[in-house]
Structure 1
């Protein structure tokens, strides 16, 4: 295929020149060094492979000025084991002055027996609060029914609060409970509370380890039996807009939050307040993975580096052993 002249010229570029087998000599020290070097290269290769397969997450923070005009989705799953559904209303108020009774969204009221079993479900935002319901509410109180709120609400993306109370019945409250304020027991369990699309939040919890998306889940606030006065509960929530970006480039916009709680004796009508404030800073978590070419470079560096160092060690051992044997043969070791 190539002429002898061309072959001869090509051979000049060979930097991996070969020695004849009869000019090489295997040694016992070289065998030990080779075994140790191969084991070390294998260990380093597996470590680098694990790092290549690992999905890392980068974090950055910036001021978000593009998502201010949207509605904020708040997912709610609360149980009031000692407060009937007929007496509950869910209201929202924000810093802009908007105060809405039975704020918009999709919310179910689930009537619960004293044992916690479902009795009936109804759409909370289609209920009609009037004096015709007073007798029904009295029956629910006498039966010691509880209530679960399950769904989501939409609020303006500005600081505000939403609260569970008996606001819709404030004119008939005395007719319903008389002078026994101890019946206004807002003991509750926060099964779930989050900000953002629930499906996105579940996906993020399964694929990301970063972020605090629902720190209040499974929190209980139960009024002690020794307390007869009605208690109000407040939650102070700091909401941080957060973006999650997967390896495939898909983005999910949700909100992390931290919360502090407080309870106090209610002077008037008790309630459970969730007061939230939004941070102007957005946190972004981005998944990334080491590139294949970087992995190849690292593997080459491992093989070349270990091979070179092992060769130097082998030469040093071989030279030292040869000198010791020569001195022994010459009787100079004493």
Structure 2
């Protein structure tokens, strides 16, 4: 039995140093304490990385079809009144949304940027008493009001009971409304006077658009838009102004939902118009993005890059439509972000590497200090006896 135990001891690949040869030093204790603190700090750092998800990024071809694109916006025009500001959207498929009013909120601003009034666009038209009927007479007692559309009726049953409805009927016909004072509804509502009263005001317009996921544009511009001989135009004569100041601040512009880490480059961008009139254009490249959280929840959104250009117009001629245009195009490449945890084996391997690395480095440092101290001590002893 003793011989077998002896043979097993001879097979030991890890021979042990006899405790009589151990030499414990003060420097070794300090290094041991310091290395233990370093190991603990690195361990907790690695533990934090293990508990928190990491994000993996991939690029894939976007094969999605038939989806829609949601555009969230919040833009302030300090020198353009809400009454003359309109929003249009159109895309290369031919779909158009002219003078968009749904899901849009406008805030009237004074010269100092304070809010005067906030209301949903298209709501709040003033009422008029004893207006002109379609047949030419005035509204009588117990008679149903049906105002004239001044030749813009689509059918015999159409009525235009407000200035806004007359303007809308003209827009659908592709006609420009040159003199609102000739329209009974506009005259009685004081349309021109209200525009003059709002002169010098600004407007904050915000909301969202739901458009086809194809290239297109949306723009903010003065006047009501309509199609005339296949050309997109705005009725600017009604405002009796030669120039429009389209200075603006983009408080927020996003294509889709928010996701962690998204950067919208136009948020907070401000531009001040120096020329009398002109068109400011943003050319946007939209990159479809999918963000998958560690829980499995997926966010379908977009990122974008942008370039800018200003096109000046001549006073009195308005060769280009004054306004702020956003032209967007879609990238064929989709970016996917996936949150995931590192594996436990990866965490364990890193912890072992930390312990081994710190132990090896501290051992080398301790050995260097120990042998250095012995060498210095030996030289000092030799110096005493020489």
| TM bucket normalised to smaller | 0.7 to 0.9
2:354 pairs, out of 295, 302, 309, with: 302
Distance 2:78 2:289 in 1: 33
Backbone CA RMSD of aligned residues: 3.8
Alignment match, 1:154: 210
Q: Which residues of structure 1 form unaligned runs of 5+? A: 1-7
Residues 110 and 122, structure 1, Cα contact 8 Å, conserved in 2: yes
Closer, same or farther in 2 for the Cα pair 1:151/1:315, shift >3 Å? closer
Residues 37 and 306, structure 1, Cα contact 8 Å, conserved in 2: no
1:223 pairs, out of 254, 266, 273, with: 273
Closer, same or farther in 2 for the Cα pair 1:32/1:185, shift >3 Å? same
Per-residue CA deviation, residues 253-277 of structure 1 (Å, 9 max, x unaligned), is: 2111111111122414322210000
SS in 2 for 1:261: strand
1:287 pairs, out of 339, 349, 371, with: 339
Larger helix proportion of the pair: 1
Distance 1:320 1:190 in 2: 68
Closer, same or farther in 2 for the Cα pair 1:129/1:287, shift >3 Å? same
Distance 1:268 1:310 in 2: 74
1:172-251 aligned at under 5 Å gives the runs 173-177=236-240, 180-182=241-243, 184-197=244-257, 201=258, 204=259, 207-208=260-261, 211-212=262-263, 214-224=264-274, 227-228=275-276, 230-251=277-298
Residues 85 and 111, structure 1, Cα contact 8 Å, conserved in 2: yes
CA shift for structure 1 position 136: 2.7
Closer, same or farther in 2 for the Cα pair 1:38/1:293, shift >3 Å? farther
Alignment match, 2:137: none
Distance 1:92 1:283 in 2: 26
Distance 1:39 1:245 in 2: 42
CA shift for structure 1 position 312: 6.6
SS in 1 for 2:253: strand
SS in 1 for 2:285: strand
CA shift for structure 1 position 62: 0.8
- State whether structure 2 residue 219 is matched by structure 1 residue 163: yes
Alignment match, 1:262: 309
Per-residue CA deviation, residues 294-329 of structure 1 (Å, 9 max, x unaligned), is: 333332333344445655776787788879989999
Per-residue CA deviation, residues 47-75 of structure 1 (Å, 9 max, x unaligned), is: 34324413433221111213x31111101
Q: Which sits farther off after the overlay, 250-259 or 147-156?
A: 250-259
Distance 1:123 1:44 in 2: 61
Structure of larger gyration radius? 2
1:274 pairs, out of 304, 309, 326, with: 326
Alignment match, 2:48: 53
Per-residue CA deviation, residues 27-50 of structure 1 (Å, 9 max, x unaligned), is: 32xx42343244134324413432
CA shift for structure 1 position 118: 2.5
CA shift for structure 1 position 245: 2.5
- For these two proteins, the number of residue pairs brought into alignment is 307
Q: Which sits farther off after the overlay, 158-167 or 242-251?
A: 242-251
Residues 86 and 137, structure 1, Cα contact 8 Å, conserved in 2: no
Distance 1:280 1:295 in 2: 37
2:70 pairs, out of 69, 73, 83, with: 73
> What TM-score, normalized by structure 2, do the two folds share?
0.66
Residues 109 and 124, structure 1, Cα contact 8 Å, conserved in 2: yes
Q: Which sits farther off after the overlay, 163-172 or 36-45?
A: 163-172
- State whether structure 2 residue 191 is matched by structure 1 residue 136: yes
SS in 2 for 1:76: strand
- State whether structure 2 residue 299 is matched by structure 1 residue 252: yes
CA shift for structure 1 position 105: 5.3
1:64 pairs, out of 59, 62, 65, with: 62
Alignment match, 2:142: none
Residues 90 and 103, structure 1, Cα contact 8 Å, conserved in 2: yes
Residues 138 and 176, structure 1, Cα contact 8 Å, conserved in 2: no
